[in-house]
Amino acid sequence: MVCCDSSLYPYSPSKVAPIILLVVFLASTAHHIYLNIRYKSWRITATLPWGGLLFIVGFVMREISAFKPNHLPIFIASTCLLLVAPPVYAVTNYIVLGRVLYYVPYLSPIHPGRVISTFLGLDAVIGAITANGGARIASPDASPSDISIGKAFLRASIILQLISFFLFVALEGFFHRRCIRTGLTTDKPTPEANKQSKKLRSILYLMYTSSVIISCRHVFRVVEVFQGPEGYLAAHEWPLYVFDGAFMFANMLMMNIWHPMRYLPNDNKIYLSKDGVTERCGPGWVDKRVFILTLVDPFDVAGLLMRKDKDKFWDHEDEHPIVGQEMIGTGKGIGGNASAA
């Protein structure tokens, strides 16, 4: 039921639901800020509290909009904030998977740094398409043709976002398959080896679960856009609070309980030896190619075709100190400074 004739909503917006979600996101975000301080992981997981802040402001705007349902700027602000917040959690997954690949470099199908640059690059293109589409629709001077083109851009951007995320999950699955084949994620006979195996399994399952949650939200948005403003999803309020609210809070809460930095080192130069037990401090995986080339060819297909030898530092692990022994006598530790993702 529309609350008034001039309302921008096809229903009477709830005045209670935004407050509930505001409170739970505020609590989760505050805890994520604490965890970032505790693990000194701002360069890796700062996107978790950032996504939470976007939701907090988004639901504040939604609450105000519920009392002023005909106020267009507030309506647009709440809609845009709730639209852009979930992809921030996808960025968290990109960064964390990149850090996992740094940790097990000899099984990585792609340079770990390219995970972030490739998928963030795709997200930037998708964001530009989304902004173009939204601007065409929101323009007060928009013609029916402009609105139609804007809607087409929004449909394309949401579909591309879904495809991009499925490619990310496929990359994660490919890496996981390699881990299983080498026995890196299987149960081990010794407690120490089993501890490392469990840590690796935990972070991968965490990424899978988060990917499923975010993908469900993306599917919801795809269906909503294709149904149009007269469709069931756009005409009812509960889907927004389920998929953009409850699902995303579940993702935040999961990261509160099983924070990624519980399972990963803070420095991307630390890697797990092939024995699946020993952590060593290596030189780090440096891609010596021109930066533009790394964006165009993240998998280094050209290098494979030309049979160029890579600097496989992990094949000389005896040259690298074991974590905890490399700085003895200096009073320094490896984990003090986090390397860039």
The whole-number pLDDT of residue 303 equals 65
In Å, how far from its chain's centre is CA 125? 16
Taken as a whole, the chain contains a residue count of: 341
Q: Give the DSSP H/E element, type plus range, for residue 324.
A: none
The whole-number pLDDT of residue 310 equals 64
Burial letters for 110-136: b for 16+ Cβ neighbours within 10 Å, e otherwise?
bbbbbbbbbbeebbeebeebbeebbeb
- Neighbouring residues of 277: CB distance < 8 A, sequence distance ≥ 6: 188, 190, 192, 193, 196
pLDDT tens-digit profile of 264-317? Answer: 998 889 999 888 888 899 888 877 777 677 667 766 666 666 656 567 888 888
Given a contact cutoff of 8 angstroms between Cβ atoms, the answer to whether 74 and 61 are in contact is yes
- Cα–Cα distance for residue pair 313/285, rounded to 1 Å: 8
Instruction: List 97's β-bridge partners, or say none.
Output: none
The whole-number pLDDT of residue 67 equals 93
Give the chain's residues under pLDDT 50: 327-341
Q: Report yes or no on whether pTM surpasses 0.85.
A: no
- Please state, as a whole number, how many other Cβ atoms lie within 10 Å of the Cβ of residue 139: 12
